[in-house]
Amino acid sequence: MDQTTNFVFAPFNWLGRFSIAFIGELGSVGIFFIHAFCLIFSLPLQVSKTIQQVFFIGAKSILIILLVGLFTGMVLGLQGYYTLVKFGSEGVLGAAVALSLIRELGPVMTAIMIIARAGSSMAAEIGIMRISEQIDALDTMDINPIRFLVSPRIAASLISFPLLTAIFDVIGIAGGYLTGVVLLGINAGVYFYRIEASVIMQDVSGGFVKSLVFGIIVSTICCYQGYFTHMRPGGFGARGVSLATTSAVVLSCVLVLIMDYVLTSFLL
Amino acid sequence: MTAPLVELKNVTKRFGEITVLDMVNLTIFEGDITTIIGKSGVGKSVLLKHIIGLLRPDEGKILFNGKQLKGMTRKERKSFKERISYMFQNNALFDSLTVFENIALPLREKTRLHEDAIRSRVLAQIDQMELSEVTYKYPSQISGGMQKRVALARALVTEPKIILFDEPTTGLDPLRKNAVLSMIVHYQKKIRFTAILVSHDIPDILFISNRVAIIDSGRIPFQGTPMELEQSENPVVQQFIKGQASLKDELTGLNTRRDIKKIFIQEMERVNRLHESFPVVMFTIDNLEQINEHIGYIAAQQIIQCLGMLIKEHFDTTGTSARYSQNDILMLLPHTGLKEAKQVLDELATDLQKQEIFQAKSYPKACFSFSILAGPAEARPGMDLDSLIKQALSHQKTIAHIECIKHGETT
C-alpha cells in the first residue's frame, strides 16, 4: 500500500520540490538584481569601471554585431523577396525586413550574440574570482563585491544593449538593401519608402524596451551564476566554473526567448 | 590583566552533519601574536573566517571589545572592518590586476586619498617587501614566495589594527618560511597590530607567538603562552606536540628547544650523581633586525642557517645544539671541559669570519652593524637551565661582526 502511495505521489513530490526550488531561485535572482541595481547609484559612482565594462560588453562586440546583423538582414532580404514575389508584393520587402529586425530579430539576436561573447565571460570571470577566494578577499576589505563586480556590469549592459541593438537594426536594413535592391533589383526608393511608411515610433520603442529587459536578464543571470558558483551542488573548482558558465549561457538564452514572447504579447 | 580584544564564546559551527567548531572559547589580547595550531582539516581556517565575519556561528557569540558584530551599528561595523585585515591561505590576489593595483585596491576603494598619495604609499610598501622588480607584473607571473609577500603587503597597506594570517608559511621552503615569519614579527613590532595566525609550523611559530591555542576535534583544549604549552601536562597537548613538532629545526637542522631541555635534564641527573660539570655555550645573533631592514629577510635567515650549520660541523661529535629562540642557539657539551669548549669556539670564530656571508664586502651598498655573540658557562650540580643561560648570556663576547663606519663603507 505504502509503495503504491509513493508511486502515485512521487511525481507530485518532484513537482512540488522543483517548483519550490524554482521560485526560491527566482526570488534570489530578483533580490540579487535589485541589490546590484540600487548599488549602481551608490556614491561615489563607479564611472570608470562602468566605462570599462561598456567597452568590454559594448565596443568589443560591435564587429560581431555588424557581421551577424549584415548577414541576418541579407538572408531576410533573400527569403522575404522569394516569399513576397509569389504574391507579387516584393515592393513591401523594405517594410518586412525593417519591421522584423526592429521589433524582433534585432533585440533577440543582439542579446544572444552578447550572451555568447560577454555573458559567458562574465560568469567565468566572477566564478573564478569566487573559487579562488578573491570575492571573500573583497569582503574582508569591506569592499561590497556586488557593488564592485556586478553593478558596473549591469549598468554597462543597460547602456550597451540598446545601442548594439540599434546598430544591428541599421546594418540589418543595409543587408536587406544589398540583397533586395542591389542583387534582386527592387527599386531603392521603394525599399526605403516602405520602411519609412511602415515603421512607427512604437516599433522602435518596443525594440528598445526589449533590449533593456534583455540587458537586465543577461547581465543578472550571468553574474548570478558566476557569483554563486560555490553553492552549485554539481561541481567544485574549475568544473564548478564550467558548469556555471554553461548554465549562465543556456539559462540566459532560454529566458531571453521566453521573455521575448511575453514582451511581444504585451507590446502588440 | 588587559581586557580581551576578541572573545569567542561557545562558538559552534556545523556544515551539514559535521560539527567543525564545537563550543569553542578563545580569547585574543590586543598587541599579541596569537597562534592557532592544529592538524589539517580541524577547522583552523573556519575559526579565522568566523573572526573576520566571512562565516557566522550557528551558536555562541564573537565579541570585539565586548561587542558582538551583528549588534554593531553601521558606523561601528565600518570602523571595525577598517581596522581588520586578512591574509588568505592561497593569497587570494586579484589575478587580473598587477601587483601594484592589488596593493592599491583597498586604498583606492576605501579611502579618499589622492592618487599621488596612494601611489607613494603603495610604492613604499612594495619597496619594503622587496617587490620593486615585479611592481607591474601579474600575480601569475611571479613566484609563490613573492605572491605571499604581495598578499602581506596588501594586508599591511591600510595599517590595520588586527591582521589574521591563514597559514602564511604553507608551501614555502624553510628559508622563506622563516623569512615570512620574521617579516610578520618585524611589522608587528613596527605597526603594533594584533596578529592572529593559523599554522602548523611547530616549532618555528612558537618563537614568534605571545599566545598559542590548540584546536583539536572542534574544541580548544589549550590556550596560553608558548612556555605554558611546553610545560602543559594535558595529554591532548602532549600528544599533539609529539605528533606535530618536527624532530629537527627545519632551518638550521639543529634540535628543537624541547629536545634540548630533555637532554639537559638527563645530563643534569648524571652531573648531580657524579658531581661533575660540563660547559654550555649560548650563541646570539645580535641586530638581526638590521639585516632584515638593510639586506632582506631571506639574507637574515641565511645567516641563522649558516651559523647553525657551522656550529653543527664544529660541535656535532662532542655536543648537542638546538635553536633556542629565533636568534639564539644553545649548545650543551656534556663530555667536554670548559677549556676544550673555548678552543673549539675559537676555531668556529675563525671559520665564521672566513664565510662570505659574514664579511662586510658582501654588502657593498648597505650600511648596518651586526654581530654574533657567544658565551660559555659551566653547568654544575643543582643548577637549572634558566640560570645557566643567564650566566652564559652575561659572558657573551663577539665572535664575528660587521660594522658600518659611514654610509657606503663597512668594515
Residues B238 and B283 in one domain: no
Beta strands across the sheet bearing B320-323: B320-323, B328-332, B278-286, B370-379, B397-402
Nearest-10 crossing angle of helices B99-110, B144-156: 20
Residues B102 and B124 in one domain: yes
Give B45 or A3, the one with higher predicted confidence: B45
Q: In sequence order, what are the residues at sequence separation of 6 or more whose Cβ sits closer than 8 angstroms to the Cβ of residue B136?
A: B98, B99, B100
List alpha helices for B38-83, DSSP H: 44-52, 74-83
> How many domains are contained in chain B?
2
Q: A169 and chain B: CB distance < 8 Å anywhere? A: no
What stretches of chain A adopt beta strand conformation (E)?
none
Q: How far apart are the first and last CA of chain A?
A: 53
Q: Which of B200, B216, B244 lies at the terminal end of a domain, its last residue?
A: B244
Nearest-10 crossing angle of helices A151-177, A62-84: 40
Residues B300 and B213 in one domain: no
Closest Cβ opposite residue A132 in set B53, B92, B105: B92
Q: Give a yes or no: residue B249 inside a domain.
A: no
Give B387 or A54, the one with higher predicted confidence: A54
Element (H, E) at B163: strand B162-166
Q: Cα separation of B341 and B315, whole Å?
A: 9
Fill in the DSSP letter of residue B3.
Answer: P
Q: Which residues of B touch A (CB under 8 A)?
A: 49, 52-54, 78, 81-82, 84-86, 88, 90, 92-96, 105-106, 109-110, 158
The pLDDT value recorded for residue B408 is 46
Element (H, E) at B5: strand B4-15
CATH value at residue B40: 3.40.50.300
CA torsion sign for A153, A156, A160, A161 is positive
Residues B124 and B179 in one domain: yes
Q: Give a yes or no: residue B251 inside a domain.
A: no
pLDDT single digits (tens) A15-28: 888 889 888 888 98
Closest Cβ opposite residue B90 in set A133, A141, A143: A133
Q: Give a yes or no: residue B108 inside a domain.
A: yes
Query: Are the beta carbons of B92 and A139 separated by less than 8 Å?
Result: no
Residues B209 and B324 in one domain: no
Q: How far is B2 from chain A (nearest CA, A)?
A: 27
pLDDT single digits (tens) B229-240: 777 778 777 777
Q: In which domain, by residue range, is A188 found? A: 2-267
pLDDT single digits (tens) A87-115: 878 778 888 888 889 988 899 999 999 99
Residues B182 and B299 in one domain: no
Q: How far is B122 from chain A (nearest CA, A)?
A: 16
> For B157, which residue in chain A has the nearest alpha carbon?
A141
This model of the complex carries an ipTM of 0.77
Beta strands across the sheet bearing B4-15: B18-29, B4-15, B59-64, B67-68
Q: Which of B218, B244, B270 lies at the terminal end of a domain, its last residue?
A: B244
- Residue A12: pLDDT over 80: yes
Identify which of A157, A165, A189, A178 has the alpha carbon closest to the alpha carbon of residue A103.
A165
Residues B229 and B333 in one domain: no
Q: Cα separation of A164 and A147, whole Å?
A: 25
Q: Give a yes or no: residue B59 inside a domain.
A: yes
User: And the C-alpha cell for B238?
Assistant: 602532549
Q: Give a yes or no: residue B102 inside a domain.
A: yes
Q: Cα A243 from chain centroid?
A: 19
Mutant choice from A48, A133, A138, A230 vs B, greatest count of B C-beta within 10 A:
A133
Identify which of B215, B241, B247, B245 has the alpha carbon closest to the alpha carbon of residue B228.
B241
Residues B86 and B227 in one domain: yes
Residue identified by cell 549602481 is A40
Residues of chain B with pLDDT under 50: 407-411
Stated pTM of the model: 0.76
pLDDT single digits (tens) B49-74: 888 888 888 888 888 888 887 778 87
Residues B240 and B261 in one domain: no
List CB contacts (< 8 A) between A133 and chain B.
Answer: 88, 90, 92
Residue B250 sits at φ, ψ, to 5 deg, of: -60, -40
Rg (C-alpha) for chain A, rounded Å, is 22
Query: Are the beta carbons of B96 and A125 separated by less than 8 Å?
Result: yes
Give A57 or B339, the one with higher predicted confidence: A57
Identify which of B311, B267, B271, B323 has the alpha carbon closest to the alpha carbon of residue B400.
B311
CA distances from B92 to A45, B86, B102, B223, B229 (A): 26, 10, 10, 29, 32
Q: Give a yes or no: residue B252 inside a domain.
A: no
Q: Cα separation of B36 and B14, whole Å?
A: 20
Beta pairing partners, B278: B379
Residues B143 and B169 in one domain: yes
Q: Cα separation of B373 and B396, whole Å?
A: 6
CA distances from A143 to A74, A239, B78 (A): 48, 27, 11
Q: Cα separation of B392 and A50, whole Å?
A: 67
Q: Give a yes or no: residue B250 inside a domain.
A: no
Residues B172 and B279 in one domain: no
> How many domains are contained in chain A?
1
The pLDDT value recorded for residue A55 is 92
Residues B15 and B97 in one domain: yes
Task: Please answer whether residues B333 and B279 qualify as being in contact, where contact means their C-beta atoms are separated by less than 8 angstroms.
Answer: yes
Give B40 or A248, the one with higher predicted confidence: A248
Mutant choice from B109, B113, B150, B164 vs A, greatest count of A C-beta within 10 A:
B109
Q: In which domain, by residue range, is B226 found? A: 4-244
CATH value at residue B369: 3.30.70.270
Q: Cα separation of A217 and A111, whole Å?
A: 9
Query: Are the beta carbons of A143 and B94 separated by less than 8 Å?
Result: no
The pLDDT value recorded for residue B246 is 55
Q: Which of B211, B244, B277 lies at the terminal end of a domain, its last residue?
A: B244
Q: How far is B339 from chain A (nearest CA, A)?
A: 59
DSSP string, A131-187: HTTHHHHHHHTT--HIIIIIHHHHHHHHHHHHHHHHHHHHHHHHHHHIIIIIIT---
Beta strands across the sheet bearing B219-224: B84-87, B162-166, B194-199, B33-37, B211-216, B219-224
